[in-house]
A and B are shown apart, each in its own frame.
Chain A
Amino acid sequence: MAFRPQTLYEKIWAAHVVERRDDGTCLIYIDRHLVHEVTSPQAFEGLRANGRRVRRPELTLAVPDHNLPTTPRLDAQGRPIPIADPESAQQLDALRRNTAEFGIDYIDATAAEQGIVHVVGPELGFTLPGTTLVCGDSHTSTHGALGALAFGIGTSEVEHVLATQTLLLSPSRTMEVRVDGTLGFGVSPKDVILAIMGRVGAAGGTGHVFEYTGEVVRAMSVEGRMTLANMSIEGGARAGLVAPDDTTFAYLKGRPMAPAGEAWDRAVAWWRTLATDPGARYDKSVRLDASEIAPALTWGTSPEDVVPITGTVPEPDSFADPAKRAAARASLTYMGLAPGTAMQDVPIQHVFIGSCTNSRIEDLRAAAAVANGRRVADGVHAMVVPGSGLVKRQAEAEGLDRIFAAAGFDWREPGCSMCLAMNPDKVPAGERCASTSNRNFVGRQGPGARTHLLSPAMAAAAAVTGRLADVRDLMGDRQ
């Protein structure tokens, strides 16, 4: 057969086809499955109701994250502190019982390895290049940073994967998202993905899988790539991929669940063949130049509502599309912002540094560098929630917790926290939050909460100035 150049996506897909149907849908084998407390109880209930077992329990890993309070989990005697909210407690309890009943590995809330499922997977080496990885959570796209075809699924699909270790899927189209050049001073991976969202739009990637390419992506750390891949879903793409390279292998080597010894060498040899072949075709392409990307943030209630920090709140009438004009007007009412206001003049009351987008060690270092020697402004509550217990431990070993504490930030236990306000961490109605998370939807951080998405360094800058601020101004005086 003649050699046909293939994309990274096509190669991973082809390696996982169990069966192809006439209409093009395929039964796809799933190598890795992550489970958390919110989207799994009904799946286990379905298994029980039908007398089904879990086909390959060792390919699944469970960890609670969404519901957990971020207050201390153990008392002075080292005993677990009960969770006050009875519904959360019941869901966490259900995860513990279900994983025990079906023989699935479970990381308890009190374990050092507990954390946000998308932080835990890569950090333990559970996530590997060239695998198919799913989780009942849309930000499963995060794992694509390591070259895994990773996407979120609904609870019926969770049940399907548990019972069969497969999913019935139609192939997606591919879209290259290329960022060339070199990032400017003070520009972080979060700014890159926000710029991409502004360009592609919230529905621009629907039906597609993104592949992030270009010099900026190649030069980026694996953690930075995770910030990109994480928000693929905000652009409508179910998954986002980065081709595995030496950066990826260096990140993974020695992680507890990663292959070791001869298996490692064999794996790396295969992973090296996965990169998109020269001449392979994507269905769509978008290209950004790094020189156009500035520290950025959102002004509205869709992740496509992006503006550079030096910009102003847009005039709804400036949008060509009538539906977008109406949406912008509604957004600005909800956000309590007037068109033409300089973003830097907008005061904030809350800062949230955390979530599966930006809660890894590099994120905390970037925020701590800005917080160091400064004070959280009066009237601002600033919260730092590490993505996992291992991130927290590393940050504490580096003294970042003390920098944050000295600056008046609240240093918490790991979990999803204020990203989706399922646990007690909420932004009160009408108040404004500078947040490193990924969704600025209406009510996302609590009913009536107003969210501006931005990078960890920008969030720290907002905390210490009490308003949305250009982090470059704060970094400048350090040079």
Chain B
Amino acid sequence: MQPVTRVSGTAYPWGAKNIDTDVIIPAHWLKTITRAGLGRGAFETVRAQPGNVFDDPRYAGSPILIAGDNFGCGSSREHAAWALADMGIRAVIAPSFSDIFSGNAFKNGIVPVVLPQDAVDRLLAVAEAQPIVVDLETMTVTTPFQDRFAFELDPFRRRCLMEGLDEIGMTLAEDTAISNFEAAVRDHRPWIENRSGYASIAVEGAGRT
């Protein structure tokens, strides 16, 4: 993952509430088996409407999206984060995010910035004409008009973003702790590992006999 420390530039001043992942990337784009190229399908239903913010030349290629409450609700599809990343979006600012979307955003180098509604309203107004800056060093969003809004991020996730860390590699380094836990599970909850009934089910247990 590419490290992110600062995202600055124009922002799509959208502000829409309850934007679900079907709006971010409709289901028919989910048939792909790679992560690339989903930007073309991003916000397809919104872009079908004349005068939409995404096709407004003033905001073309903006690295920031400003949205309303509950952004990214709905399905768990990480394709939503891939689509935003493919459009060049590196930060989304909203009063709240769905839990799953915000996890997916972090893992793809997109900063989900939570700010109160009045700060979001102010940024929506500013972004009509001016760029804004999301800074992970100072944990603030600033504008050319001296606005300065502080936000918070989970310290671990912040570090992963800023250093571009590979979370799987980090967890694999905890192998001993995981193995010890598994040994305890074998003692205390043996039924977890000894799943019964393979024989009666038409599963193709390809790797095992």
**A residues at B contact (CB < 8 Å):** 15, 18-19, 21, 23, 25, 27, 29, 31, 38-39, 41-42, 45-46, 50, 52, 55-59, 61, 66-67, 85, 87-88, 90-91, 94, 99-108, 111-113, 124-126, 128, 130-131, 136-138, 140, 152-157, 159-160, 163-166, 168, 170, 172, 202-203, 206-207, 233, 236, 238, 255-260, 263-264, 266-267, 270, 302, 323-324, 327, 420-422, 439, 441-444, 447
Question: With A and B bound together, what is the CA distance between A100 and B169 in angstroms?
Answer: 24
In-complex Cβ contact of B203 among A106, A165, A422 (8 A): A106
Would you give 19 A-B contacts (Cβ < 8 Å), ordered by A? A19-B177, A41-B33, A52-B172, A57-B207, A66-B30, A136-B78, A138-B75, A138-B100, A154-B104, A168-B156, A168-B171, A202-B73, A236-B98, A256-B197, A257-B195, A270-B189, A327-B17, A439-B22, A447-B26
Q: A138-B75, A138-B76, A164-B172 are in contact. Are A152 and B100 (CB under 8 A)?
A: yes
Q: Using Cβ atoms and an 8 Å threshold, which residues of chain B touch A103?
A: 205-208
Q: A42-B33, A259-B191, A263-B194 are in contact. Are A154 and B70 (CB under 8 A)?
A: no
5 closest A-B pairs by CB: A103-B207, A256-B197, A259-B191, A154-B78, A152-B76
Secondary structure dominating the interface of A: loop
Question: With A and B bound together, what is the CA distance between A403 and B172 in angstroms?
Answer: 54
Q: Using Cβ atoms and an 8 Å threshold, which residues of chain B touch A128?
A: 191-192
Q: Using Cβ atoms and an 8 Å threshold, which residues of chain B touch A58?
A: 193, 195, 208
Question: With A and B bound together, what is the CA distance between A94 and B73 in angstroms?
Answer: 28
**B residues at A contact (CB < 8 Å):** 17-18, 20, 22-23, 26-28, 30-35, 45, 68-70, 73-79, 81, 96-100, 103-104, 107-108, 154-156, 167-169, 171-172, 174, 177-178, 181-182, 185, 189-198, 200-208
| Chain B, residue nearest A86 (CB) | B31
Contact B30 A125 (CB under 8 A): no
Q: Using Cβ atoms and an 8 Å threshold, which residues of chain A touch B185?
A: 29, 31
Question: With A and B bound together, what is the CA distance between A422 and B79 in angstroms?
Answer: 14
Q: A18-B174, A25-B156, A421-B27 are in contact. Are A131 and B98 (CB under 8 A)?
A: no
Q: A259-B191, A422-B28 are in contact. Are A107 and B203 (CB under 8 A)?
A: yes
Q: A27-B177, A256-B201 are in contact. Are A154 and B23 (CB under 8 A)?
A: no
Q: What is the distance, in angstroms, from A87's C-beta to the closest C-beta of chain B?
A: 4
Q: A156-B78, A160-B168 are in contact. Are A256 and B18 (CB under 8 A)?
A: no
Question: With A and B bound together, what is the CA distance between A38 and B78 in angstroms?
Answer: 10
| Chain A, residue nearest B15 (CB) | A323
Contact B208 A39 (CB under 8 A): no
In-complex Cβ contact of A99 among B98, B196, B206 (8 A): B206
| Chain B, residue nearest A321 (CB) | B17
Secondary structure dominating the interface of B: mixed
In-complex Cβ contact of A104 among B27, B195, B207 (8 A): B207
Question: With A and B bound together, what is the CA distance between A264 and B79 in angstroms?
Answer: 40
Q: A153-B76, A166-B178 are in contact. Are A302 and B18 (CB under 8 A)?
A: yes
Q: Using Cβ atoms and an 8 Å threshold, which residues of chain A touch B81?
A: 154
Q: What is the distance, in angstroms, from B30's C-beta to the closest C-beta of chain A?
A: 5
Contact A441 B23 (CB under 8 A): yes
In-complex Cβ contact of A441 among B20, B96, B197, B208 (8 A): B20
In-complex Cβ contact of A203 among B35, B70, B201 (8 A): B70
In-complex Cβ contact of A447 among B33, B45, B172 (8 A): B45
Contact B202 A108 (CB under 8 A): yes
Q: Using Cβ atoms and an 8 Å threshold, which residues of chain B touch A441?
A: 20, 22-23, 74
Question: With A and B bound together, what is the CA distance between A156 and B100 in angstroms?
Answer: 11
Question: With A and B bound together, what is the CA distance between A45 and B191 in angstroms?
Answer: 31
Question: With A and B bound together, what is the CA distance between A168 and B104 in angstroms?
Answer: 13
Contact A39 B202 (CB under 8 A): no
Q: Using Cβ atoms and an 8 Å threshold, which residues of chain B touch A27?
A: 171, 174, 177-178
Contact A256 B196 (CB under 8 A): yes
| Chain A, residue nearest B155 (CB) | A23
Contact A21 B168 (CB under 8 A): no
